[in-house]
Structure formats: structure tokens, C-alpha cells
Copies of this chain bind each other. A is one copy, B any other.
Amino acid sequence: MTANGADAARRGRRRGELTVAAIARLAGVSAPTVSRVLNGRSGVAMETRRQVEALLREHGYRRPDSIAPSAAIEVVFYGLEGHLAIAIMRGVEQVVREHELAVGFTDVVGRAAAGRSWAEQLLARRPVGVIAVHSAFTMEQHALLAASRIPLVALDPTGEPQHTTPSVGAANWNGGVAATRHLLDLGHRRIAVISGPARYLCARARLEAARAVMDTTGVPLDERLVRTGRFFFEDGLELGRELLSLPDRPTAILCGDDLQALGVYEAARQLGLTIPDDLSVIGFDDMECTRWCGPPMTTVRQPFDEMGAAAARLVLSLAAGDAHEQARIELATTLVVRGSTAPPRKN
């Protein structure tokens, strides 16, 4: 074994992997420049940075273990509503505190592009692991995290990630099945569905579950009663008004999330319809305030606290060197029956 090989072995490097010096030679830059890129530090021209990152990826560079990380798990939020974020944070913290680590919080939305990016800052802090909620990372950032040996777990309530990252989600399909069965059991036949954006797999899963259950029950979903909108209150309000203004309006509306369902509540209120007497409504998520709306909402609970805890356990076990890099953990959803569903009014 050459001196170089011994050095590589001592630092836990596989044979054939390149050193920082070798990457620097290939890029035609100095070794400190490569280090700066690896550590997310500033002072490297954008083009040089991109070139170095490409070489690091290409050669599967992995940072030696010898560099001490900061004692924190960082949670990165991207476009997630506050009512879900805090439950996730609590779940993460409950697990992480047992390991006497800190929990960091970053909100990427609305972040200015000036100065060092949040991703560079994150890398520079060298956390034990990163939990990305709703997939904020590009493929390049994924690769850079991997090169820096910082394990990443995607906590992705709005869909399965497109990359090969370990992830935690909830059983969207089963939640859709339970909600639809509940409406059919109550006697509803004219059931409308307001779905989330078609590009989200979670929205697809919920819609297709409803379609499948109704089909197998002999009450096929009327396509004229299907609407698609963003996961917002405003979209629920608008699409709800549309559906409730139909000559033969639905007796129940299955919503893509709780915000859409709250929008439907408001649509019903504006049209003088009473929930659940004139209309049954089911949400999805079980955000805190569904308990406080009038009437309290029947909804499908996603266990965001448990999802946070599971993501934390997964990222800690990756940090400890356990190899399940393709892991996908899916937690159960639960139908929570409250006051917004009832048998349809007899005509």
C-alpha cells in the first residue's frame, strides 16, 4: 500500500477515490478552493464552484470522517404552512433531544438570493444531518450534501421525492379510501372531490383512492363533480361555490386538504347551506384548527409529529453509518370523525 493509500484508508476512504488535491488538479484550482466549495464557504467564483461540484459528483467524492460536525440536526422547510411545521419540529425535537443534539430551523421561502445561499450556510454549519420538508433541494444540492457526508432525509407530505433520498411520508391512498368509505357508509351517492395539484403524487393518491372505492362499490365517481386546485383556502372557496351552485349539487365534498375544506365551509356559509345537514365535508391533514371550526371537521389525520420523529430517527441512523439509503417510511393515516359529516338529507 502506498503512503497515499494508507492515508486514504486511515481516513475511511475507499481505494480509487480522489483526494481534494487530485480534484483541485483536475479543476485547475488550488486545494483550498476545493475545500471552500466542500465547506460551503464564500470567495469562490460561481463558475469555478459549479465546475468543482461537478467533479466532486463525477468522482463520487466523499468527505473524510475526520472533520467534526456541529451537534445539530437541521430541519429545512420549503413552502410548508405553519400549522404543520410546528408539529414536525416537535416530533424531530423529541427524538433528537435524547441524543443531546440541538434542533435547527430554516425556512427557505422568501429567502433572498443575495449573499451566501441558505444551502451554503447550512453546509458551512456542518450539521449531523438534514431533514428537508417538502423537498427544497435540487439534485446538485443533494450531491453536495452527499459529498460532505451529511445525511439527508426528505419529509415530504406533498408527494414522494423524485430523487433516491431516504424519505418519510404518510399513507395517502389509505386515507383517501377511509374518507370515501365513510361517506358511502353514511349513504352519500353524489360525492364531489376537490383534489390538490395533479403534479403532487399525494394529491393523485387521494383522488385515485376515492375513484377506486366508489367504482368497486358500484357508485362510480361522476367526473363532472371532480375539481383540481391548490392546497389553499381560496381554492376550496371558489371550487366549493362552483360545485354547490350546480343544479344537482353534491351532498358531500371530499377535499384534498383541510384548507380546501375550510374554503368549502365558507362557500356553504355564503350560500346559506348548513354543514352537515345540507352538506358533508371531509378534509385531509387534521391541522389543529379543524377542531375549532363550526362544526368541528371530519378529516384524515396525518401524524406530522410522528413523521418528524421518524425522519429524525432515520437521519440519526444514517449519520451513525447504518446503510438504508433507499429507505421509505410510510406512516398510517387515520380518519377522525367529527361534526362535518352526516347522512344526506332525505328529499
Chain B residues within 8 Å of A127, by CB: 102
Contact pick for A82, options B74, B87, B269, CB 8 Å: B87
Interface residue A105 (Cβ < 8 Å from any Cβ of B): yes
Number of copies: 2
A83-B83, A85-B86, A265-B294 given; A104·B107 CB < 8 A: no
Interface residue A295 (Cβ < 8 Å from any Cβ of B): yes
Chain B residues within 8 Å of A233, by CB: 291-292
Residues 270 to 322 of chain A near chain B (Cβ within 8 Å):
287-289, 291-295
Closest to A287 in B: B289
Which listed segment binds B: A116-124, A162-170, A191-199, A223-231?
A: A116-124
Count of A interface residues, CB-CB < 8 Å: 43
B292 near A266 (CB under 8 angstroms)?
yes
Closest to A262 in B: B292
Identify the interface centre among A82, A90, A104, A288: most chain B CB within 10 Å of its CB.
A82
A70-B70, A93-B106, A100-B121 given; A292·B289 CB < 8 A: yes
Interface residue A72 (Cβ < 8 Å from any Cβ of B): yes
Q: Interface digits, A20-43 against B, CB 8 Å rule (1 contact, 0 not)?
A: 000000000000000000000000
Closest to A90 in B: B107
A288 near B74 (CB under 8 angstroms)?
no
Interface residue A207 (Cβ < 8 Å from any Cβ of B): no
Q: Report A176 CB to chain B, min CB distance, Å.
A: 23
Q: How far is the CA of A47 from the CA of B70 in the complex (A)?
A: 32
Q: How far is the CA of A339 from the CA of B42 in the complex (A)?
A: 50
Q: How far is the CA of A259 from the CA of B107 in the complex (A)?
A: 26
Q: How far is the CA of A295 from the CA of B111 in the complex (A)?
A: 33
Q: How far is the CA of A292 from the CA of B292 in the complex (A)?
A: 11
Q: Report A118 CB to chain B, min CB distance, Å.
A: 7
Chain B residues within 8 Å of A106, by CB: 93, 97, 103
B105 near A288 (CB under 8 angstroms)?
no
Supply 16 A–B pairs (Cβ within 8 Å), ascending by A: A82-B86, A82-B288, A86-B86, A89-B89, A93-B107, A97-B121, A100-B121, A102-B125, A104-B104, A105-B105, A259-B292, A262-B289, A262-B293, A269-B294, A292-B293, A293-B293
17 further A-B pairs in the complex, CB-CB below 8 A; given A97-B106, A102-B102, A269-B295: A72-B102, A82-B86, A82-B288, A83-B288, A85-B86, A93-B105, A97-B118, A97-B121, A233-B291, A262-B293, A263-B292, A269-B294, A288-B289, A289-B289, A289-B293, A292-B293, A293-B293
Residue positions of A touching B, CB distance < 8 A = 70-72, 74, 81-83, 85-87, 89-90, 93, 97, 100, 102-107, 111, 116, 118, 121, 124-125, 127, 233, 259, 262-263, 265-266, 269, 287-289, 291-295
The 9 closest A-B pairs by CB, nearest first: A82-B86, A289-B289, A262-B292, A269-B294, A102-B104, A103-B105, A86-B86, A233-B292, A105-B105
